[in-house]
Amino acid sequence: MKKFLLSSYPDGLSRRWAGSIYEAIQELGTWAWRVGSCLGLLGISVEAATIEGRVSLPKVRVAPVINQRYEIIATGGVLGTNPPLAVVYLEGKFAGAATPAVVQMIQREMAFVPALLPVRIGTKVEFPNLDPGFHNIFSFSLAKRFDLGRYRSDEKPVPSQVFDALGLVTLRCDIHEHMRALVLVLDTPYFTITDEEGSFRLIDLPAGAFTLKVWLDSKTIRERPVVLVRDTARRMDFP
Protein backbone atom coordinates (compact mmCIF):
# COMPACT_ATOMS: atom_id res chain seq x y z
CA MET A 1 0.00 0.00 0.00
CA LYS A 2 1.23 3.44 -0.86
CA LYS A 3 0.94 6.06 1.85
CA PHE A 4 1.97 9.64 2.04
CA LEU A 5 1.62 12.64 4.27
CA LEU A 6 0.68 15.59 2.09
CA SER A 7 1.30 18.08 4.85
CA SER A 8 4.92 17.03 5.05
CA TYR A 9 5.73 18.28 1.57
CA PRO A 10 6.90 21.72 0.58
CA ASP A 11 4.02 24.14 -0.13
CA GLY A 12 4.37 24.26 -3.89
CA LEU A 13 4.26 20.50 -4.23
CA SER A 14 1.24 19.94 -1.99
CA ARG A 15 -0.73 22.63 -3.84
CA ARG A 16 0.06 21.02 -7.13
CA TRP A 17 -1.15 17.64 -5.92
CA ALA A 18 -4.20 18.85 -4.03
CA GLY A 19 -6.54 18.33 -7.02
CA SER A 20 -6.08 14.63 -7.43
CA ILE A 21 -4.96 12.23 -4.75
CA TYR A 22 -4.48 9.47 -7.28
CA GLU A 23 -2.27 11.55 -9.55
CA ALA A 24 -0.37 12.74 -6.54
CA ILE A 25 0.43 9.17 -5.54
CA GLN A 26 1.51 8.32 -9.06
CA GLU A 27 3.67 11.38 -9.35
CA LEU A 28 5.04 10.85 -5.91
CA GLY A 29 6.06 7.31 -6.80
CA THR A 30 8.13 8.48 -9.73
CA TRP A 31 9.60 11.32 -7.80
CA ALA A 32 10.37 9.14 -4.79
CA TRP A 33 12.14 6.62 -6.95
CA ARG A 34 14.59 9.24 -8.14
CA VAL A 35 15.31 10.81 -4.78
CA GLY A 36 14.35 7.98 -2.45
CA SER A 37 17.20 8.55 -0.06
CA CYS A 38 16.07 12.13 0.65
CA LEU A 39 12.63 11.00 1.77
CA GLY A 40 13.94 9.30 4.88
CA LEU A 41 15.43 12.61 5.99
CA LEU A 42 12.09 14.36 5.47
CA GLY A 43 10.24 11.68 7.43
CA ILE A 44 7.84 11.06 4.57
CA SER A 45 6.10 7.73 4.14
CA VAL A 46 5.76 7.05 0.42
CA GLU A 47 5.55 3.38 -0.36
CA ALA A 48 6.52 -0.02 0.95
CA ALA A 49 9.94 -1.45 0.26
CA THR A 50 11.14 -2.13 -3.25
CA ILE A 51 13.89 -4.41 -4.53
CA GLU A 52 15.24 -4.08 -8.03
CA GLY A 53 18.18 -5.83 -9.54
CA ARG A 54 19.54 -8.00 -12.26
CA VAL A 55 20.06 -11.74 -12.49
CA SER A 56 22.84 -13.03 -14.68
CA LEU A 57 20.96 -15.46 -16.95
CA PRO A 58 22.43 -18.39 -18.87
CA LYS A 59 23.02 -17.92 -22.58
CA VAL A 60 20.20 -18.72 -25.03
CA ARG A 61 20.41 -22.48 -25.50
CA VAL A 62 18.67 -22.89 -28.84
CA ALA A 63 17.22 -20.45 -31.35
CA PRO A 64 13.93 -19.12 -29.95
CA VAL A 65 10.71 -20.24 -31.60
CA ILE A 66 9.43 -17.28 -33.60
CA ASN A 67 5.73 -17.27 -32.73
CA GLN A 68 6.19 -17.74 -28.98
CA ARG A 69 7.68 -15.39 -26.50
CA TYR A 70 9.42 -18.23 -24.73
CA GLU A 71 9.10 -21.97 -24.31
CA ILE A 72 10.10 -24.70 -21.87
CA ILE A 73 13.04 -26.85 -22.87
CA ALA A 74 14.85 -29.75 -21.19
CA THR A 75 18.64 -29.78 -21.23
CA GLY A 76 20.13 -32.91 -19.68
CA GLY A 77 17.00 -33.42 -17.59
CA VAL A 78 16.96 -29.80 -16.39
CA LEU A 79 13.85 -27.82 -17.26
CA GLY A 80 14.05 -24.12 -17.93
CA THR A 81 12.78 -21.47 -20.29
CA ASN A 82 14.18 -20.55 -23.66
CA PRO A 83 15.18 -17.79 -23.92
CA PRO A 84 16.25 -18.06 -20.26
CA LEU A 85 14.21 -16.15 -17.68
CA ALA A 86 14.26 -16.29 -13.88
CA VAL A 87 11.55 -16.11 -11.23
CA VAL A 88 12.51 -13.80 -8.36
CA TYR A 89 10.58 -14.10 -5.09
CA LEU A 90 10.67 -13.06 -1.46
CA GLU A 91 10.27 -15.75 1.19
CA GLY A 92 9.46 -15.32 4.86
CA LYS A 93 6.55 -14.89 7.22
CA PHE A 94 3.94 -12.49 5.87
CA ALA A 95 1.16 -11.25 8.11
CA GLY A 96 -2.32 -10.65 6.70
CA ALA A 97 -1.83 -12.83 3.65
CA ALA A 98 -4.35 -12.08 0.93
CA THR A 99 -6.43 -14.75 -0.82
CA PRO A 100 -4.73 -15.85 -4.03
CA ALA A 101 -6.34 -14.66 -7.24
CA VAL A 102 -7.54 -16.85 -10.10
CA VAL A 103 -5.04 -16.77 -12.94
CA GLN A 104 -5.01 -18.28 -16.43
CA MET A 105 -2.60 -20.26 -18.53
CA ILE A 106 -4.02 -20.42 -22.05
CA GLN A 107 -3.41 -22.84 -24.89
CA ARG A 108 -2.91 -20.94 -28.13
CA GLU A 109 -1.25 -21.98 -31.38
CA MET A 110 -0.26 -25.31 -29.85
CA ALA A 111 1.59 -23.72 -26.95
CA PHE A 112 1.00 -22.84 -23.31
CA VAL A 113 0.97 -19.09 -22.62
CA PRO A 114 2.72 -18.23 -20.39
CA ALA A 115 5.00 -21.24 -20.51
CA LEU A 116 6.31 -20.49 -17.01
CA LEU A 117 3.75 -19.45 -14.43
CA PRO A 118 4.74 -18.65 -10.83
CA VAL A 119 1.76 -18.73 -8.45
CA ARG A 120 1.21 -18.52 -4.75
CA ILE A 121 0.16 -21.75 -3.05
CA GLY A 122 -3.64 -22.11 -3.09
CA THR A 123 -4.06 -20.29 -6.41
CA LYS A 124 -6.66 -21.56 -8.87
CA VAL A 125 -5.36 -21.71 -12.42
CA GLU A 126 -7.77 -21.91 -15.36
CA PHE A 127 -6.66 -23.50 -18.63
CA PRO A 128 -8.76 -22.13 -21.51
CA ASN A 129 -8.20 -23.73 -24.92
CA LEU A 130 -8.10 -21.00 -27.61
CA ASP A 131 -7.19 -23.35 -30.45
CA PRO A 132 -9.71 -24.82 -32.92
CA GLY A 133 -8.97 -28.45 -31.91
CA PHE A 134 -8.66 -30.49 -28.73
CA HIS A 135 -5.98 -30.31 -26.06
CA ASN A 136 -5.48 -32.63 -23.10
CA ILE A 137 -3.41 -31.19 -20.27
CA PHE A 138 -1.91 -33.50 -17.69
CA SER A 139 0.79 -33.58 -15.02
CA PHE A 140 2.66 -36.39 -13.32
CA SER A 141 4.48 -34.03 -10.95
CA LEU A 142 4.40 -34.81 -7.22
CA ALA A 143 3.27 -31.27 -6.36
CA LYS A 144 0.14 -31.71 -8.52
CA ARG A 145 -1.01 -34.78 -10.39
CA PHE A 146 -3.97 -34.35 -12.72
CA ASP A 147 -5.43 -35.04 -16.14
CA LEU A 148 -7.99 -32.61 -17.52
CA GLY A 149 -9.04 -34.88 -20.38
CA ARG A 150 -9.73 -33.72 -23.94
CA TYR A 151 -11.62 -30.48 -24.38
CA ARG A 152 -12.14 -27.71 -26.89
CA SER A 153 -12.62 -23.95 -26.69
CA ASP A 154 -16.34 -24.25 -25.88
CA GLU A 155 -15.73 -26.20 -22.65
CA LYS A 156 -17.61 -24.61 -19.73
CA PRO A 157 -16.70 -24.03 -17.01
CA VAL A 158 -13.11 -23.52 -18.07
CA PRO A 159 -11.12 -26.51 -16.76
CA SER A 160 -8.97 -25.52 -13.77
CA GLN A 161 -6.81 -26.79 -10.95
CA VAL A 162 -6.00 -25.43 -7.50
CA PHE A 163 -2.26 -25.63 -6.84
CA ASP A 164 -2.18 -26.55 -3.16
CA ALA A 165 1.32 -28.00 -2.72
CA LEU A 166 4.67 -26.25 -3.06
CA GLY A 167 7.02 -27.14 -5.87
CA LEU A 168 7.44 -27.31 -9.61
CA VAL A 169 4.66 -28.79 -11.73
CA THR A 170 5.39 -29.84 -15.31
CA LEU A 171 2.40 -29.67 -17.64
CA ARG A 172 2.18 -31.62 -20.89
CA CYS A 173 -0.46 -32.19 -23.54
CA ASP A 174 -1.46 -35.76 -24.32
CA ILE A 175 -2.18 -34.84 -27.95
CA HIS A 176 0.72 -32.52 -28.81
CA GLU A 177 3.96 -33.94 -27.51
CA HIS A 178 6.00 -30.74 -27.90
CA MET A 179 3.68 -28.75 -25.61
CA ARG A 180 5.19 -28.12 -22.20
CA ALA A 181 4.72 -25.63 -19.38
CA LEU A 182 5.83 -25.13 -15.81
CA VAL A 183 3.83 -23.93 -12.82
CA LEU A 184 6.08 -22.88 -9.95
CA VAL A 185 4.06 -22.99 -6.71
CA LEU A 186 5.53 -20.58 -4.16
CA ASP A 187 4.86 -19.81 -0.50
CA THR A 188 4.76 -16.06 -1.03
CA PRO A 189 2.60 -13.34 -2.60
CA TYR A 190 5.73 -11.44 -3.67
CA PHE A 191 7.21 -12.72 -6.93
CA THR A 192 8.00 -11.63 -10.45
CA ILE A 193 9.64 -12.89 -13.66
CA THR A 194 12.74 -11.18 -15.00
CA ASP A 195 12.90 -9.80 -18.51
CA GLU A 196 15.29 -11.39 -20.99
CA GLU A 197 18.11 -9.16 -19.73
CA GLY A 198 17.57 -10.54 -16.21
CA SER A 199 16.20 -7.29 -14.79
CA PHE A 200 13.47 -7.41 -12.17
CA ARG A 201 11.59 -5.16 -9.77
CA LEU A 202 9.55 -6.29 -6.75
CA ILE A 203 7.33 -3.54 -5.33
CA ASP A 204 5.07 -3.01 -2.31
CA LEU A 205 7.13 -5.36 -0.14
CA PRO A 206 6.72 -5.45 3.65
CA ALA A 207 9.45 -4.49 6.09
CA GLY A 208 11.34 -7.27 7.88
CA ALA A 209 13.93 -9.99 7.48
CA PHE A 210 13.40 -12.25 4.49
CA THR A 211 15.16 -14.37 1.89
CA LEU A 212 15.28 -13.23 -1.72
CA LYS A 213 15.31 -16.26 -4.00
CA VAL A 214 15.96 -16.68 -7.70
CA TRP A 215 14.63 -19.70 -9.58
CA LEU A 216 16.74 -20.22 -12.71
CA ASP A 217 15.70 -23.74 -13.74
CA SER A 218 14.37 -26.97 -12.21
CA LYS A 219 17.75 -27.63 -10.52
CA THR A 220 18.96 -24.12 -9.71
CA ILE A 221 17.70 -21.79 -7.00
CA ARG A 222 19.92 -19.03 -5.64
CA GLU A 223 19.20 -17.00 -2.53
CA ARG A 224 20.38 -14.09 -0.42
CA PRO A 225 19.13 -12.85 2.96
CA VAL A 226 17.66 -9.35 2.95
CA VAL A 227 16.40 -6.96 5.61
CA LEU A 228 13.81 -4.58 4.18
CA VAL A 229 13.13 -1.19 5.69
CA ARG A 230 9.86 0.56 5.00
CA ASP A 231 9.86 3.25 2.31
CA THR A 232 13.20 2.30 0.92
CA ALA A 233 14.29 0.95 -2.43
CA ARG A 234 17.33 -1.24 -2.65
CA ARG A 235 19.27 -2.99 -5.33
CA MET A 236 20.15 -6.70 -5.23
CA ASP A 237 22.01 -8.28 -8.11
CA PHE A 238 22.72 -11.95 -8.73
CA PRO A 239 25.85 -11.84 -10.89
Asked whether position 173 contacts Cu ion by CB under 5 A, the answer is: yes
Asked whether position 213 contacts Cu ion by CB under 5 A, the answer is: no
Asked whether position 102 contacts Cu ion by CB under 5 A, the answer is: no
Asked whether position 175 contacts Cu ion by CB under 5 A, the answer is: yes
Contact 131, 108 (CB under 8 A): yes
**Cα–Cα distance for residue pair 76/114, rounded to 1 Å:** 23
Spell 44-63 as b/e; 16+ CB within 10 A means b: bebbbbbbbbbbebeeeeee
**Which amino acid is located at 149 in the chain?**
G
For strands 78-82 and 71-75, give the pairing.
Answer: antiparallel
Instruction: Return the residue nearest Cu ion (CB atom).
Output: 173
Asked whether position 176 contacts Cu ion by CB under 5 A, the answer is: yes
**Cα–Cα distance for residue pair 84/51, rounded to 1 Å:** 21
Asked whether position 90 contacts Cu ion by CB under 5 A, the answer is: no
Asked whether position 180 contacts Cu ion by CB under 5 A, the answer is: no
CB atoms within 10 A of CB 104: 14
Q: Report, in Å, the least distance between residue 179 CB and Cu ion.
A: 5
- CB nearer Cu ion, residue 174 or residue 187: 174
- CB nearer Cu ion, residue 24 or residue 179: 179
Q: Report, in Å, the least distance between residue 152 CB and Cu ion.
A: 11
Asked whether position 150 contacts Cu ion by CB under 5 A, the answer is: no
Contact residues for Cu ion, defined by CB under 5 A: 135, 173, 175-176, 179
